[in-house]
């Protein structure tokens, strides 16, 4: 489904994944394992492009529901996988993804072995302010320490990963139980204050299609007020 010209939402994959169409194709997040065929079908049938047109797979963070098809897609298409260094180490199995109470990290591990998800290496390590495939990288530590947002200034679209969610037009912070450092996540969100974007695309929930930067600024102000009363 095309959200704005050149930006597509591949529906029916948990979590949300998006494909940006320029001369080359860029995939942002890849969903839970075993959805590779669905993503490839979107490229060939909906976009009428060939799988080898996919040149870059950008991962907003290390969670299994975002990286699940990345390795298989790379094997088929030859695309390069990019992620922030801190999460690349978790994706490669060198570090463990922690959670506030510890319990969920066991769940992530179990889910990984249940879905037969193997660790893999990332081709490109990205950092704050990097420019890659037409996007500016914003490092947003909190949900995971290597979480990133990707800003498409040409289209005024922000891909926010799991740092913010949008449900029924309402912005929510990251899910607390699976967020490594919630305070840090809220500090990262403040980075978005002066960014100009119309559309925000999150890893969970629906696209926020209008006035996204104003709504995010409102959300930031709301959090500050709540913090001030604590």
Stretch that binds Zn ion, among 88-96, 127-135, 159-167, 212-220 (CB under 5 A): 159-167
28 or 40: whose CB is closer to Zn ion? 28
Q: How many CA atoms lie within 13 A of 183 on its CB side?
A: 2
Q: Do the Cβ atoms of 223 and 171 come closer than 8 Å?
A: no
Residues near 198 by Cβ (< 8 Å), separated by ≥ 6?
Answer: 4, 156, 157, 209, 210, 211, 212, 213
Q: How far is the CB of 87 from Zn ion (least distance, A)?
A: 10
152 or 162: whose CB is closer to Zn ion? 162
Query: 216 to each of 34, 172, 187, 189, 195, how far by Cα in Å?
Result: 33, 10, 13, 9, 10
Q: By CB under 5 A, how many residues form the interface with Zn ion?
A: 2
Stretch that binds Zn ion, among 40-48, 97-105, 120-128, 161-169 (CB under 5 A): 161-169
Binders of Zn ion among 57-76, rule CB under 5 A?
Answer: 63
Binders of Zn ion among 85-124, rule CB under 5 A?
Answer: none
Q: Which two tokens stand for residue 156?
A: 């005024």
40 or 140: whose CB is closer to Zn ion? 140
Q: Do the Cβ atoms of 195 and 159 come closer than 8 Å?
A: no
Q: How far is the CB of 78 from Zn ion (least distance, A)?
A: 27
> What phi and psi values does residue 69 have, to the nearest 5 degrees?
-115, 5
37 or 187: whose CB is closer to Zn ion? 187
The residue from 29, 87, 89, 162 that contacts Zn ion (CB under 5 A) is 162
Interaction site with Zn ion (CB under 5 A): 63, 162
């Amino acid at each position: 489904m095309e959200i704005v010209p050149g930006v597509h939402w591949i529906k029916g994959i948990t979590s949300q994944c998006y494909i940006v169409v320029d001369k080359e194709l860029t995939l942002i997040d890849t969903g839970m394992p075993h959805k590779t065929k669905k993503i490839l079908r979107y490229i060939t049938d909906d976009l009428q492009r060939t799988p080898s047109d996919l040149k870059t797979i950008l991962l907003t963070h290390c969670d299994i529901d975002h990286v699940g098809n990345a390795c298989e897609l790379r094997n088929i298409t030859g695309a390069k996988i990019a992620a922030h260094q801190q999460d690349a180490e978790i994706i490669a199995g060198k570090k463990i993804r922690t959670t506030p109470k510890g319990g969920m990290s066991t769940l992530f591990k179990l889910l990984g072995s249940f879905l037969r998800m193997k660790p893999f290496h990332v081709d490109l390590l990205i950092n704050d302010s990097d420019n890659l495939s037409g996007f500016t990288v914003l490092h947003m530590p909190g949900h995971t320490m290597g979480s990133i947002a990707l800003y498409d200034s040409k289209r005024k679209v922000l891909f926010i990963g799991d740092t913010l969610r949008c449900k029924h037009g309402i912005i929510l912070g990251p899910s607390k139980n699976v967020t490594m450092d919630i305070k840090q996540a809220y500090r990262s969100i403040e980075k978005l204050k002066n960014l100009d974007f119309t559309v925000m695309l999150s890893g969970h929930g629906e696209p926020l299609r209008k006035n996204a930067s104003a709504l995010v600024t409102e959300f930031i102000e709301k959090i500050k007020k709540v913090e001030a009363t604590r």
